Chain A
Amino acid sequence: MIPTGTLPELILTLLVAAAIAPLMGQYVANVYSGGSSFWEPVVGRIEAAAYWVMGVDPGRPMTWKEYLRALLITDGLAMAFVFVLVQVQAGLPGNALGAPNMSWDLALHTATAFGTNTDYQHYVPETQISQFASLYGLELLMFTSPATGLCVVAALARGFTRRDGRIGNYYVDFVRTLTRILVPLTVLGAIAFVLLGVPETLTQAVHILPLTGGKEVVPLGPVASWDSIEFLGTNGGGFYAANAASPFQNPSAATNFVAILLMTALTFGTPIAFARLVRRPGEALPLVATVVTLFLVGLVLFLAFEGSNPFLPATVNQSSGYLVGAESRFSITESALFQFTSVYTNTGATNMALGSLTPMAQSVLLFGMFMQSTPGGVGTGFGTLLINVVLAVFMGGLMVGRSPEYLGKKIGMAQVKWAAGAILSHPFAILIPTAVAMTVPGVLTSAIGGYTPHGFTVLLYEFTSEAANNGSGMGPINDGTMFFNVVGALVMLVGRYVPLAAMVAIAGSLSTQAPHRPGSGTLKTRSLTFWFFLTAFIVVVTGLLFLPVLALGPFSQIVGGL
């Protein structure tokens, strides 16, 4: 068991997170419905300037194809920029620690990882990235990728409310997300981190002479602002290799607490924002309930499996929990709550060594990334939830003898087609590369030294994390190779853009329908039954697809009972 004395802190953290999410939802909804901001005169001018520079007519809404094209172009350009930047960073200023240029495959993986909101790091931040590239390249992507995700929420909402086949102007959504949501909130978060002792400086490193002799270089930088967007935008890439286990990034229980709140703010807020945007605030209930159920059940299981390791002899004192792989400055509850939240929001920041978790705790994390809507990453997690809703509503409609509809729009062939495609892409992106890595001669040996149940779990975790755009990594694995860079980049792109395209297409296909007033024969989604059905649907479908690999990996690690 986890120490019971830490439970009040755990519950308090969850309660504060629960209080912030609705406010955030309301705020996000206001932004996408064109509401004005408290600093409207300033922000309005900044946006107008941005539209002028980009040559965008903010009054012209787009069809879903135009919207998707704009989205892909924006993301593609940003990633291409970083892809080039990190390959020439050695010769650019702001490289006091002398980071070399990245190889093309590592650059590809890095640009894709940050551009797809995955932030899987195959490089070591301290030695392989210059501060310049980090600030103007990676951090740029850390803003654009959550913005892309949030835009899709707005597009989906418009699919349900509009009937003219238009789902909004992508550039307007994108700019407003940055100016009104991500930038101001990041500033707030950064201030909190600075106050709590996280460094924020343009100094690239300090040199200290430790008492033990020799010379030590401590890399520094604008860590507080990095932290802020890392968690708020569910990016998860660390400023330091140790990420949130590093005392500079996450010095205390207080920063740990702030980080958890930042990770949950937008991710739990989006269902509420969506329901407000479709003008049926009550419809947030079943969505939030489903997400919260998946989250809390996972959390309880994770804590239970990390509370103690049953295989240790009784003589080992585990009264403070199973602490292997956890930071000693945090209680097991603090570590576990952070780690769990980070994986279930697809942030991917780590403050524990995931390879040291008990096998069942590893299964819980993997299962969360298989489901993705737990709540998942900013925007995309919600989109995945909605794709599950589309399929569940379709099945539910069949079961009540009524053509399915959701929020007044009929769910038919077009929506099922896209939703099925999105659901299909996830196991594809995980299982195929894992099987390939196991089969291609040499890859397995060089990465994990041949099959062991734990080695397999690590390999599975790598591709699962990339496909879910999570970014957390489990060790030990030698994944800085050409194979893992190129295949990993591919997995992240498929894991990101196939579902995104499906979401935008679903929004588009719904936006041409005249909305329909639901009667009592329509399946009421705002009901306990639907909440149960949706939750069960997600868990059962995920289980069916991924149980075999869980058996081959983490389950096989279990020795002598749970």
Chain B
Amino acid sequence: MTDEAPEGVSSRRAPRIALGGALKQSVLRFGPRSMTRNPVMFVVYVYAIFLAVLTAVPALFPDLTGAGTGFSRSYALAITAILFLTIWFSTLSESVAEAQGRAQAESLRQIRTGTLARRWRPDGTEERIEANRLRKGDVVRVGQTELIPLDGDVIDGAAEIDESMMTGESAAVLRESGGDKTSVLGGSRVLRGRITVRVAVDPGGGFLDRMIRLVEGATREKSPNELALTLLLSAFTIILIVTILTFDFMLSASGVVIVQLSTLLALLVCLMPTTIGGLLPAIGIAAVNRVSYANVVAKSGRAVESAGDLDVLILDKTGTITTGNRIAVELLAAPGIGKETLTEAAALASAYDETPEGRSIVRLAARRGAARSGARPEVAKVLPFTPERRVSGVVLADGHEILKGAVASIVALTGELPPDLDRAAKDAAARGMTPLAVSQDNRALGIVLLKDVVKPGIPDRLRELRMMGIRTIMCTGDNRLTARAIAKESGVDEFVAEARPETKLELVNREKAAGRLVAMTGDGTNDAPALARADVGLAMNSGTSAAKEAGNMVDLDSDPTKILEVVSLGKQLLITRGGLTTFSVTNDVAKYFAILPAIFVGVSGVAFLNVLRFTNPGLAVLATLLFNAIIIPLMIPVALRGAPFRPRTAVELLRNNLLVYGVGGFASAFVGIYALYELLSYLVVSPWIAPTIAAVAHLLGS
């Protein structure tokens, strides 16, 4: 394992990659077929080969290498070498990114074994069949310790299942027929119980297969945005080719200076957006990898990009915004009852209540000084919650009966609450809290206020989303009062209370009709249509197959809050592309100032462009070209990890990134080229390298 976790995401780390494999891949990519996939690098590739031939057999091109052309073989060789280096750096970045993906896929594929399945025949008998011969709709039985052959839904029985191979989560999960916890993953193992599963996919179409294919890049399709950028970069490359080609014709017709073809090709390659062109594939692959380290399976790279682009996020209240458990926050005693009495009674009433609400009452009482906190008090009888009485509590050894329950249920036993207490209970309800009454021997002692608790950190996350221009809508089945209170506390922009199962779909449709990009999370079969309709549908792994099938991402951790992380990853993907493109272009500006004076040697009017005061034109060109190559591997970490991203408004982001990538690209190129020039100047005169160059030059007969 490497120690570096990707920014902000921690669930699964980048697997160790086989560097040897990546190196090998990067060389294999030199084949012409794979080169054509990247238009910018393909152009460099063609030039490099052409120049290599020219250097090897100058006699083939007398017009370009003969007397009067200024052709220098050792110089051409150096340029050729740097051009190949440039290409290799690009293929290397892509290979490293893919190797990360492949390592991820490999760890997944280990799960895949030649499973035998027990298929149910319609006549009730069983047959043994290889898992890869199963078809969608088949029904299989899976017993204890057996592997589940393919993704499907439990139609009968219940079992504890180990999904750790896929999700990294070691605790077993419960899956049972009926309800929303029916889906099982192919490759997971039944720990306890036996289930009957209806297969939901054909072999190879399962969840795991899809994940493997995506991280391996086999199904990687370019997203519209990436396509548009590729097109723009290609157009820019074409213009530059025309610019330099026509410049070549003009120069040679003018006869002012004699410029070697190698220099012009070097100028052209330096000006072409090779940095972004070389890293573009790696950026896309790395983004999908980062999503999968977050334990989210994206069904397409496009989904990741859409996530960065959202306008509206529809969030479930329970589980996403709130922990889903109400927690006791306040104790209010009835007039004439001591605070201590109520605290003690509340603690006693909940002492055997194992629900999160009950535990929270005990904890609150303990904080308020209840004596018997923590320990289980001796009681005569425990009165569990029953649907009939709708209260729970204990009968103490001395015969006192202490109860707690909904206000209405306690009132049924005690008669009207004192007016002050009644008002307090109603007020609390109006503020979205849930009042419970506590009674002793049919006399009301006071009330306990329970509150839905917003998850820690959620208000901050929602504020960040608002800053990024993403509107959040909270969806809940609660009444308006409760919903409003939570909405206010968490800071969501809008809420829908008393939501029905179809509410989410209506919301998605409404927002999409207004031309917005919508994301939502969901797990139930009810959610499936909305998940399918949303631009980003993040399904929970614990949910039904239908939901997982409908969504375009699945969260293996089943944590609905994960959608916020996915949004950040999507943004990061776009910013990495934009930032590196800008970097690439402003780099080019600086390169002109190094190369143009080198071309116009002796033309005094152009000398003012020589701001770096280079005296050796040949070295200036080599230094610039070398910088152009070296910047690619230097930027690989940015491409793989993604540009650092902090949520803020778009204008602030633009200003910041213009400074970092625009001005940074401009300045770094000057500094880098200057440093390389000085280094080369030193090497050329150094006692051990100069003779080598001379020897090579001699060998080449230049």
Contact = CB atoms under 8 A, between A and B. Distances in A.
19 contacts: A396-B578, A398-B225, A401-B468, A403-B225, A412-B228, A428-B242, A432-B246, A435-B249, A438-B249, A439-B249, A451-B256, A514-B514, A521-B468, A522-B469, A536-B662, A543-B592, A555-B603, A556-B600, A558-B608
Interface string A399-425: 111110000000011001100110110
Interface stretch (A195-203, A341-349, A471-479, A526-534): A526-534
A439 B606 contact: no
Contacts of A417: 228, 231
Contacts, number: 216
A122 to B, nearest CB: 23
Contacts of B608: 555, 558, 561-562
A219 B216 CA distance: 79
Nearest to B253: A438
Given A398-B578, A529-B658, A520 B649 contact: yes
Interface residues on chain A, size class: 35 or more
Interface residues of B, number: 75
Interface string B579-603: 1011001101100100010011001
A400 B605 contact: no
Contact of B224 (A412, A514, A557): A412
A207 B271 CA distance: 61
Contacts of A87: none
Contact of B574 (A401, A532, A544): A401
B657 A400 contact: yes
B577 A558 contact: no
B243 A545 contact: yes
A363 to B, nearest CB: 11
A531 to B, nearest CB: 11
Contacts of A359: 605
Nearest to B662: A536
A547 interface: yes
A474 to B, nearest CB: 17
B316 to A, nearest CB: 22
A551 interface: yes
A552 B605 contact: no
A434 interface: yes
B254 interface: yes
A434 B250 contact: yes
Contact of B227 (A413, A514, A517, A524): A413
Interface in A432-478: 432, 434-435, 438-439, 444, 451, 453, 456
A457 to B, nearest CB: 11
Q: Which 4 residue pairs of A and B lie closest in terms of their CB atoms, listed nearest first?
A: A521-B469, A398-B578, A401-B571, A558-B605
A394 B309 contact: no
B585 A402 contact: no
Contacts of B238: 424
Nearest to B471: A519
Nearest to B663: A536
The SS class assigned to the A binding surface is: helix
B239 A401 contact: no
Contact of A521 (B242, B575, B582, B650): B650
A549 B605 contact: no
Interface of A: 359, 391, 394-403, 412-413, 416-417, 420-421, 423-424, 427-428, 431-432, 434-435, 438-439, 444, 451, 453, 456, 513-524, 527, 529-530, 532-533, 536, 540-541, 543-549, 551-552, 555-562
Given A402-B571, A556-B603, A413 B654 contact: no
Nearest to B645: A401
Contact of B582 (A395, A397, A543): A395
Nearest to A521: B469
Nearest to B571: A401
B654 A548 contact: no
Given A401-B571, A431-B246, A545 B240 contact: yes
Contacts of B653: 399-401
A398 B581 contact: yes
B243 A397 contact: no
B271 A399 contact: no
B42 interface: no
A424 B239 contact: yes
Interface string B510-522: 0000111000000
A438 B286 CA distance: 48
A549 B246 CA distance: 9
Contacts of A544: 240, 271, 585, 588-589, 592
Given A399-B661, A451-B256, A521-B468, A533 B228 contact: no
A431 B242 contact: yes
A548 B574 contact: no
Interface string B601-623: 00111101100000000000000
Interface string B220-254: 00001101110110011011101111110111011
A434 B514 CA distance: 50
Given A402-B309, A548-B243, 5 more contacts: A395-B581, A403-B574, A427-B239, A551-B603, A555-B606
B651 interface: yes
B188 interface: no
Contact of B605 (A420, A421, A548, A557): A557
Contacts of A439: 249, 253
A400 B650 contact: yes
A142 B609 CA distance: 41
A420 B649 CA distance: 28
A432 B242 contact: yes
Interface string B634-673: 0000000000010001110111011001100000000000
A551 B600 contact: yes
A41 B584 CA distance: 59
B531 to A, nearest CB: 21
Contact of A399 (B256, B305, B573, B579): B579
A88 to B, nearest CB: 38
A319 B243 CA distance: 41
A551 B516 contact: no
B250 A402 contact: no
B287 to A, nearest CB: 11
Given A522-B469, A523-B651, A561-B608, A516 B516 contact: yes
